[in-house]
Structure 1
Amino acid sequence: MDIHRCRFVDYTPHTITASAFSLPSSTLPLKPSSSNKLRLAVGRSNGDIEIWNPKFNWIHELTLPGSKGRSIEGLVWATAEGEPPRLFSIGGSTYITEWDLSTGRPKTNYDCNAGVIWSIDVNDKGDKLAVGCDDGSVVVVDISGGFGYLEHGMICQRQDLRVLSIKWFESKMLVGGCSDARIRIWSADEENKGRLLSNMRVDKSKAESTLVWSVMVLSKKRQIVSGDSTGSVKFWDLDNFSLLQTFKIHDADVLCLNKDVNEEKIFSAGVDRKIHQFELTISNKSKVSKWIHCFNRLLHSNDVRTMSIFESKNYNFLVSGGVERSIVIQSVSGFQDGKYKKLAINQQQSNIVVNSNLKLIIMWQDQTIKIWRVLESNSDSEFDTSFNTKNHVLIAKLTLSDEENITNVSINEDASLLAVSRINNVKFFKLSLIPKSTKLKINKIRDDQFDSIMEGGKKVFFYDNNKALILSASDELYKFTIDTEEHKIELIDEIDTLIDESNKSFTSLGHLNSIKDITIDKDSSRIALSRFNGTIEILPLNSNIQPYILTRLSSSPQLMKFTERQTLIVITEDTQVLEYNASKEKQDLSLLTQWSKTNSEFLPNQFTSLDEKPQGLFLQEDKLWLYGSSWLSFFDLSIDIPTTMSNNQHKNKKRGRDGLSIDTYDETKEEDEDLEEDQMDLIEGNQRLTKKLQTGKDGKKPFWITTKYRPILKVDIFGNNEIAVIERDSFTLPTAPTFDVHKVKV
């Protein structure tokens, strides 16, 4: 096996600018019905919003694509009783955007008719938003009408300075941190609606104006917490609008604050990279409560821009992010010395495509596509020998004029066609190599009729070399044929899916019934599609087979691929490896293959104990290759796994991970009462596994794993008996200047 290690792909994640959990913290246990609605939204400086599920060691479910120059500067979820959580964002404009998770598009863009919005918050009832603007306005927006409904409520009494942070207090008052070193309080009651009640001044800096970057309201304690550009954290009395305590512990601006569910712990962070914790103590003698500074941790290598907390009786997470680009997760209860994890630079959804025939590597980000070609030493006749001094060359860089971020890119088998999808349009390009040159000629295929039919896509796939399958934003599947000579893109057909509209739950998140992934079998006769709710469907592509539902899984499929032996490999979110008989004839005998019955519940401990999730798979004959950001492995599907190296997954998972993610095996026993046919097959297969299994013939390995390559962005077939491992060393990422923390030598 020849392995090409490619480290020239310059993928750079964007700065994290905002984050928010979809559910408020509670002292009650997290029920399974609630955990299905718990998500973390993470905003980035390129306008993208990532939706993360904390189940099974954190899953990146989808990305809501942004556009050029529209950084996400604030995120909130509105959680009205009896309704699914609604996601709102702000970013460098006068608009509030409500997002439709099922389509990935904005549902509503509401103009506040004030200045550029700097801050946003939602009240406890989930029926009102408040935004602070750079012209000093505080605007209240009514969202009580349901999904997509935003209506003007009021504009509070004006003042002239930017409102950098805004928070509600029990729908009665609004607390704003401003750019003139003041904290202002507005009434939201009917009696004094919009009236400015008071303002409090923090310490001013002599060198520059003081900015109150963050405020936090403690409703139970009737206090306000503020963080400002002098590095001070201050506690204020909400009834008398007076200062209670001051802590000058940060060496630079305090950019974000957060609190635990009982309002007895406060966390602050900012430019100096440290996260500090304060605790409320009560004197036994005087019964007077005071805040004390307890701990601090240095987990970030650059500015911390945002912090979010979710707590329940059985789980608690403190999530932070910033200029470093990584999402850092730690425990609220074990902040001082507990475990933490950093979600790697790769987002579990690859933005790299490999063409093995011409040895091309394509990477897309924002509005730009880069295409490299890997050269074989002095044997690539397409290129002049003078260019063979290095093993790769950038042969094309394509920057699209539209401002929307790219959602997906695909290249056909002979590398003559390139497809680029955005949420509002799909474009096709003709590719041709220029002889004896390091350039790739790119011509856009213009077809006005196609543009009028296809109004954007989430994903696009090539099959039969000149045919394309497009998944629209509305989850419709269309087949097109591309004629490069006539510059025509003709509609062949629309593929009907089997989702039952009556099964949709209107109290859960809107994207759970949406299509998550699609894979096409080798002869292009059929496709398999998976949904976030765990359903896998088999649909015809170039055949007359009847569409049918293959299975309904309790955990959503993370990855899937057809094999050459008419089976479908599925990797679930809880890292189960399942192989299904994809043909109806074999399914009459058994839904799962014999390999899956025998091995799926007894995977090697080296695999089941991995912290990082699989982010890609491919097949080479009988070998199933899987990889994460720090590991690469394969299973030989022609050989059973010996019991000496196997591990019972259920026993391992019931112990939980490390307290930093949700493990549904600990939540409820309801799943045991509703075992699907494939789960019953697994149990029967395990019962038959009573003796030590053989390792196969010719010394073949049933399983192999290495951690030699990291961080991995993509691994794929790269020719006969060759694979390409594309890495991106985190030390090569461009970094902004960091605050110089004082180091003590011991």
Structure 2
Amino acid sequence: MAFSHNSSTQIASNDLRLAVGRGNGDIEIWNPKFNWTHELTLFGSRGRSIEGLCWAINEGDSQPRLFSIGGSTYVTEWDLKTGLPKINYDCNVGVIWSISVNNNGNKLAVGCDDGSVAIIDISGGFGSMEHEMICQRQESRVLSIKWFENSVIGGCADGRIRCWSLNKDDRGRIVGTMRVDKSKTESTLVWSINILSKRKQIISGDSTGCIKIWDLETFTLLQNFTTHEADVLCIVNDFNEEKFFTAGVDRKIHQFNLINLNQKNKNSKWSHTYNRLLHSNDVRTMVSFESKGYNLLVSGGVEKSIVIQSVNQFNDGHYRKLSLNQQISNILINQLNNLIIMWQDQTVKIWKIQSNTKYKLVAKLSLNDDENISHVTINDEGTLLSVSTMSSVKVFELIHNSKKILVQKFKDEQFNSIISSCKQSIIYNTNKFLILTNNDELYQFQIDISNKTIELINEVEFEESSDQSLTYLNNIKNMKLNHQQDKLAISRFNGIIEIVDLNDLSSIKLTTLENIPHLIEFSNNDTLIVLSEDNKIFEFNIEKSKDLLTSWSKRNSDFLPKQFLSLKDKPEGMFVDNNKIWIYGKEFLCYFDLNLNIPISKMYKNTGISKKRNRDGLTIEDDEDDEEIDDDSIESSLKQNQINRLRQQFQNEPIQDDEKPFWINLNYRSILFVNKLSSDLIIIERPISNNTPAFNLPKIKV
């Protein structure tokens, strides 16, 4: 994992992102605002895992650049706008095990399994990587690497920590070596190192579970801790370098604090203070970020979940787990044939729900391509299936029989020459095909099932947008068809919502939201429902002759129940059924009835809109400097006649006992998908996963 910006005492940048590398080669881009949003996935390929990530910001760069390594001799720079690698640079050394960027953001250092350290110049800007030098080689793998001023520190597989100088006099040579304690039964590996620049100290963690503090000037040992019971895999420090955290195979995260003796740095000592057990398996990576009002410690590993807690309140503060459940769903439903489609990596599976509520696997597709699947879509009739990767789009005909589904592939060379990538796609009106490419170009095709051909009809023209600070902010985030399948709604990361007429492919701008539209969906009345990042719900009329906001939205969007606005779990999906907006997340399922108004009452705690949620400090808000405002002060600040008018309006609207304007259930665990199937709701939950065996910690029974 890696944060795009360094910690500081200033307000966090709007461009702050967290990159998370997965074992299947995918990289997720998370926005820490509004309860953490999974914005993008950069798709990997078969046999590749992400073993290292770093962001670089040079003086000439307009936005941070993302680099990754993964079990090869290549360093990859990613283009966030297209989701594709911008450049794969071969370092001409052994397989790369570690990567680090210097403070100026213009050089990379990579440690390799042949014992070499390569320096790469990236000062040329986006997409530029040039060989600078290969440092003096030694015989052991360089498992961890960090920059310090004009030198590189590496932890090696022979139990040694080496310092390579990049000064002119001894350029590339090893100028210092430190040796950790050796294990009697196996070789000692220095898995992790961290540099305290202000104090000129090195912190190392090795396979014996030892934490050692070293002097960077004399390369001598200052302190030694044996708090871990197994390998130490990651180390991170706070902004002021007054505490650091370690974690590894034994699942625990340990905190160490600086104790100043006589208020002099040279007499300062480190002390082990706390530890927490929040992971169920190995902790492989840990990063921290601090800004004005916020301090985040983020960790992850074999458990697959991302754990977020506070740097300053580590011992007893709140924590949050971002589950593996993606906010970008990998599940589809076909209501006409009672089909559930799920995809992962290079495999697509199709299940059929039987009349007795049992389900059966009726088809399985395994792609020959190495790339991970980016998107899958199916038409309403269940006869056409499209499977897309970042380098190809494949269309299949589905032939149904009593026991299984036969799959036949389309082979159209002309179509393959036109389209080579796809981020999202939709098949509608039986055989019309919309494809959104990596360059955010939207094409319309027509599929001829009998002749197995795919013909280009036209391209949707969009207005050019001004440059943004992050390259992908103008990208399309969501695409949804209306029920008549003649209108397409799209939303972008910059808040713009547009409506495309699929008859003439004309596009009009509907509105621009202040916050990013998280989910969009058409209602049965052909209005557009939008759920924004801050859990606000809006209903828009898409016809120019009507007001932009519907009467329900005018009445209710500013008075949503506080129970919904303050949800800790991010909404992961939304659909509309019989004028009810159904919304679900990892542990909740709720609905809003578009035919009923939400009461203005203390029971709903929505007499006014609070500028802040119940904060736990684990997500970054826009209004960092505002003071807390309680419900009483909000109500008094509103126009009293407005509240009275709304209350009177609600009193004049009779509600039957079985009608509820809002309903929520918080008793679910690990929901993957919810939607309407036939006359019922189908809820797919993630089973308890069988992880690899974890380190067996001693248990105390009381």
Pick the TM interval, shorter chain.
Answer: over 0.9
Over 3 Å counting, the alpha-carbon distance change for 1:153 and 1:601 in structure 2 is: same
Are 2:411 and 1:471 aligned? no
**1:380 alignment partner in structure 2:** none
Q: Which residue of 603, 610, 618 maps to 2:560?
A: 603
**1:7 alignment partner in structure 2:** none
Over 3 Å counting, the alpha-carbon distance change for 1:550 and 1:224 in structure 2 is: same
Distance 1:430 1:468 in 2: 14
Are 2:688 and 1:717 aligned? no
**1:104 alignment partner in structure 2:** 83
Q: In structure 2, what residue type is equivalent to 1:717?
A: K
Are 2:479 and 1:514 aligned? no
Distance 2:701 2:502 in 1: 66
Distance 2:623 2:551 in 1: 26
Question: CA shift at 1:139, angstroms?
Answer: 0.3
Distance 2:607 2:467 in 1: 31
Question: CA shift at 1:636, angstroms?
Answer: 0.8
**2:336 alignment partner in structure 1:** 357
Over 3 Å counting, the alpha-carbon distance change for 1:296 and 1:353 in structure 2 is: same
Q: Which residue of 378, 381, 394 maps to 1:414?
A: 381
1:157-216 Cα offsets, whole Å, 9 max, x none, are: 11111000000002x110000000000000022332111101110000010000000011
Over 3 Å counting, the alpha-carbon distance change for 1:194 and 1:685 in structure 2 is: farther
Q: In structure 1, what residue type is equivalent to 2:421?
A: G
Over 3 Å counting, the alpha-carbon distance change for 1:463 and 1:258 in structure 2 is: same
Q: How does 1:12-23 map to 2 (within 5 A)?
A: 19-23=1-5
Q: How does 1:243-258 map to 2 (within 5 A)?
A: 243-258=221-236
**1:383 alignment partner in structure 2:** none
Q: How does 1:636-651 map to 2 (within 5 A)?
A: 636-644=593-601, 645-648=603-606, 651=609
CA contact (8 A) 2:600 2:647 kept: no
Question: CA shift at 1:656, angstroms?
Answer: 5.0
CA contact (8 A) 1:608 1:649 kept: no
CA contact (8 A) 1:497 1:539 kept: no
Q: In structure 2, what residue type is equivalent to 1:164?
A: L
CA contact (8 A) 2:483 2:526 kept: no
Question: CA shift at 1:27, angstroms?
Answer: 2.3
Distance 1:234 1:59 in 2: 37
Distance 1:687 1:238 in 2: 69
Q: In structure 2, what residue type is equivalent to 1:504?
A: D
Over 3 Å counting, the alpha-carbon distance change for 1:627 and 1:101 in structure 2 is: same
Distance 1:410 1:649 in 2: 42
**1:298 alignment partner in structure 2:** 277
What is the SS of the residue equivalent to 2:328? coil
1:611-636 Cα offsets, whole Å, 9 max, x none, are: 11111111112111111111111111
Distance 1:152 1:186 in 2: 17
Over 3 Å counting, the alpha-carbon distance change for 1:249 and 1:452 in structure 2 is: same
What is the SS of the residue equivalent to 1:309? strand
**2:577 alignment partner in structure 1:** 620
Distance 2:228 2:432 in 1: 59
What is the SS of the residue equivalent to 2:415? helix
CA contact (8 A) 1:469 1:477 kept: yes
CA contact (8 A) 2:534 2:565 kept: no
CA contact (8 A) 2:299 2:306 kept: yes
1:673-724 Cα offsets, whole Å, 9 max, x none, are: xxxxxxxxx99987952536146554421111112332211111101x3221
Over 3 Å counting, the alpha-carbon distance change for 1:650 and 1:657 in structure 2 is: farther
Q: In structure 2, what residue type is equivalent to 1:185?
A: C
Distance 1:166 1:727 in 2: 40
1:570-613 Cα offsets, whole Å, 9 max, x none, are: 00001000011111111xxx211111111011111221221111
Distance 1:317 1:162 in 2: 32
Are 2:498 and 1:537 aligned? yes
What is the SS of the residue equivalent to 1:691? helix
Q: How does 1:61-100 map to 2 (within 5 A)?
A: 61-81=39-59, 83=61, 84-100=63-79
Question: CA shift at 1:541, angstroms?
Answer: 1.0
**1:28 alignment partner in structure 2:** 10
Q: How does 1:681-696 map to 2 (within 5 A)?
A: 689-691=646-648, 693-694=650-651, 696=654
Distance 2:366 2:5 in 1: 39
Q: In structure 1, what residue type is equivalent to 2:419?
A: M
What is the SS of the residue equivalent to 2:498? strand
What is the SS of the residue equivalent to 1:689? helix
Over 3 Å counting, the alpha-carbon distance change for 1:295 and 1:736 in structure 2 is: same
1:215-261 Cα offsets, whole Å, 9 max, x none, are: 11111000111000000000000000100000011000000000111
TM-score, normalised to structure 1, is 0.90
TM-score, normalised to structure 2, is 0.95
**1:428 alignment partner in structure 2:** 395
Distance 1:620 1:579 in 2: 15
Distance 2:539 2:169 in 1: 65
Are 2:37 and 1:59 aligned? yes
Distance 2:654 2:338 in 1: 33
CA contact (8 A) 2:252 2:276 kept: yes
How many residue pairs match? The answer is: 686
Q: How does 1:326-341 map to 2 (within 5 A)?
A: 326-341=305-320
Over 3 Å counting, the alpha-carbon distance change for 1:82 and 1:550 in structure 2 is: farther
Greater relative contact order (CA < 8 Å, ≥ 6 in sequence): 1
What is the SS of the residue equivalent to 2:184? coil
**1:743 alignment partner in structure 2:** 699
Q: How does 1:497-508 map to 2 (within 5 A)?
A: 497-500=462-465, 503-505=466-468, 508=469
Distance 2:609 2:268 in 1: 46
Are 2:539 and 1:593 aligned? no
**2:621 alignment partner in structure 1:** 663
Q: Report % sequence identity.
A: 56
**2:636 alignment partner in structure 1:** none
Q: In structure 1, what residue type is equivalent to 2:54?
A: V
Question: CA shift at 1:648, angstroms?
Answer: 3.7
**1:455 alignment partner in structure 2:** 420
CA contact (8 A) 1:597 1:684 kept: no
Distance 2:525 2:9 in 1: 51
**2:445 alignment partner in structure 1:** 480
Distance 1:110 1:63 in 2: 21
**1:678 alignment partner in structure 2:** none
Moved more, 491-500 or 309-318: 491-500
| Superposition CA RMSD, Å | 1.8
Distance 1:125 1:245 in 2: 30
Distance 2:664 2:595 in 1: 17
CA contact (8 A) 1:430 1:443 kept: yes
Over 3 Å counting, the alpha-carbon distance change for 1:71 and 1:649 in structure 2 is: farther
CA contact (8 A) 2:58 2:106 kept: yes
Distance 2:607 2:178 in 1: 57
CA contact (8 A) 2:566 2:614 kept: no
1:443-497 Cα offsets, whole Å, 9 max, x none, are: 0011011000001100111110211111100000011111111010111111111
Question: CA shift at 1:82, angstroms?
Answer: 5.3
Distance 1:88 1:160 in 2: 26
